Chains A and B, each alone.
Chain A
Amino acid sequence: MSTLQTSCPSFSDLAEYWTTDIVPADIERIERHIFECQRCARLLTEADQLRTAIGDLAQAGAIHAFVTDAVLNRWARDGVRVRSYALGPGETVRCAVWADDDVLVTRLRGDFTGITSVDAEMRFDTGEEWGQVTDVPVRNGATELVFALPASLVRKAPNAPMRLTLRSAVADSTSGNVLAEYVFHHEGALDRRTRDG
């Protein structure tokens, strides 16, 4: 189809087009290429759709992830309703989500000096696992990790104590050193009208 098939960039290279740090020379190179290559034009469209969908999911609060203040700031700008809790190692918090919450954010405080990544797991007192993640990136010297969960997911969680354990990430996560534990007394989904009434 193309009349000038210069070497095609990878999908990842094309996706760079949509990042904020692409330099003008690369923008021009990609644009020159996609106006000659229909296949890469389609890939660039795919990359656009993908990053748009990621943004839409994030804006809807439909993600579970360890995030940074940059994401919290963007949520604030987008009017996403965030319910926040903060607790230190060994602390317990009574928590709930309200009917109009979009995201539940927990600031997990601790001393993460010398740690580059952690694994996290959440278990009920019965030992049943509710969820786990591995290889959470940690900035050296960080004093907190910010964990975000969709409010819709938390609403479905049983009303029961839940323990979140952070371990330093090693090859075998079960043998990693426990860094901190946090206990959530989940009180379910609340409706302000019912509560106030």
Chain B
Amino acid sequence: MSRDFPGQDGSPARSAGKSYCHQRGGATGSPVRRGASLAIDVFRARRYVSHVTRSNAIPLAACEDGVLAREIAASDAGEATAAETELYRRFAPRVRLYGYKHLSDRGAADDLAQQVMLVVITRLRAGEVHEPDQIGSFVLGTSRMMVAGQRRGESRRAALHARFDAQDAMVQPSDGVALDRERIAPCLAAVRERERTILLLTFYAEKSTNEIADALGTTAGAIRVGRHRALASMRDCIEARRPS
């Protein structure tokens, strides 16, 4: 199976896949081909995603999640690469966030995102996802299972790494552009003193709302309001400082 991955044997992918989908009709009802190969070719897909050439189709980026999932499930090997990439682009960051919340480790969260999406797309290809329209729930469920598995010390992670090792180069380890210090520092300095203290205690000292309320001699409700106001203020400030 691993020989079907594009680029793994030095050859180009056989197809980059369609860059559009049909919100109605289209893939719905198409036969699901089982055992097709998994191919996530980020580079090729990026080239194609924005090129919509058919008037009765819409760009993949505008397709609903379920339509993408059905497209993948119904395609031959290599034909849905762009849809797979789009699905990956949408869900890998969410799995990464989920992983960081539950594993408290950025590297482990990156690994989890890769593993979960490989499993999801493999199972879509194999026709094992019975409700493609509920693909979000399926990705979440897979994430939960894999995190639970990691906690039980299962060897799933290592096995998947070995199996899909060649996919490493296709993974983008972070989402977008991180907030740089120069951009955020003035915004943090601009919030009210009380709110800055709340943000530091919440996100740096990692104290609970009740602990912060005790430390500052106020109520948990006042802390929540202060944090809410501070976050809104910082978002506005950061947005205003966004490079054009």
The complex places the Cα of A9 from the Cα of B240 at a distance, in Å, of 23
A–B Cβ pairs within 8 angstroms, 23 of them: A18-B101, A19-B203, A35-B94, A38-B90, A41-B90, A45-B175, A46-B235, A49-B179, A50-B184, A50-B231, A50-B235, A53-B180, A54-B188, A57-B181, A64-B189, A68-B197, A70-B211, A71-B201, A116-B217, A135-B192, A135-B194, A137-B197, A139-B217
**A-to-B contact residues, CB < 8 Å:** 1-4, 10-12, 15, 17-21, 27, 31-32, 34-36, 38, 41, 44-60, 62-68, 70-71, 73-74, 116-117, 133-140, 142
Chain B residues contacting A41 (CB-CB under 8 Å) are 90, 93-94, 97
Partner of B184, one of A57, A66, A70, A116: A57
Chain A residues contacting B194 (CB-CB under 8 Å) are 117, 135-137
Evaluate contact between B185 and A58: CB separation under 8 angstroms.
Answer: no
Interface size on B, residues (CB 8 A): 58
Chain A residues contacting B197 (CB-CB under 8 Å) are 65-68, 136-137
CB-CB under 8 A for A48 and B207, given A57-B188, A63-B188, A139-B216: no
Nearest first, the 6 closest Cβ-Cβ pairs linking A and B are A139-B217, A21-B208, A58-B204, A70-B205, A51-B203, A35-B136
Secondary structure type dominating chain B contacts? helix
Evaluate contact between A50 and B238: CB separation under 8 angstroms.
Answer: yes
CB-CB under 8 A for A2 and B65, given A53-B184, A117-B194, A137-B218: yes
Interface centre among B215, B232, B234 (most CB of A within 10 A): B215
Evaluate contact between A12 and B231: CB separation under 8 angstroms.
Answer: yes
Chain B residues contacting A73 (CB-CB under 8 Å) are 205
Mask: chain B, 57-82; 1 = CB below 8 Å from A; 0 = not: 00000101110000000000000000
CB-CB under 8 A for A70 and B140, given A18-B101, A41-B93, A137-B218: no
CB-CB under 8 A for A138 and B181, given A12-B228, A63-B196, A71-B201: no
Evaluate contact between B65 and A133: CB separation under 8 angstroms.
Answer: no
Closest Cβ–Cβ distance, residue A8 to chain B (whole Å): 14
Partner of B204, one of A11, A35, A48, A55: A55
CB-CB under 8 A for A54 and B181, given A70-B211, A139-B216: no
**B-to-A contact residues, CB < 8 Å:** 62, 64-66, 90-91, 93-94, 97-98, 100-101, 133-134, 136-137, 139-140, 175-176, 178-181, 184-185, 188-189, 192-194, 196-197, 199-211, 214-218, 227-228, 231-232, 234-235, 238
Chain A minimum-CB-distance residue to B210: A21
Evaluate contact between A19 and B188: CB separation under 8 angstroms.
Answer: no
Chain B residues contacting A64 (CB-CB under 8 Å) are 189
Evaluate contact between B90 and A48: CB separation under 8 angstroms.
Answer: no
Chain A residues contacting B232 (CB-CB under 8 Å) are 11-12
Chain A minimum-CB-distance residue to B100: A48
Chain B minimum-CB-distance residue to A51: B203
Chain A residues contacting B204 (CB-CB under 8 Å) are 54-55, 58-59, 71, 74
Closest Cβ–Cβ distance, residue A143 to chain B (whole Å): 13
Closest Cβ–Cβ distance, residue B71 to chain A (whole Å): 14
The complex places the Cα of A32 from the Cα of B144 at a distance, in Å, of 11
Partner of A21, one of B64, B90, B133, B209: B209
Partner of A35, one of B133, B137, B238: B137
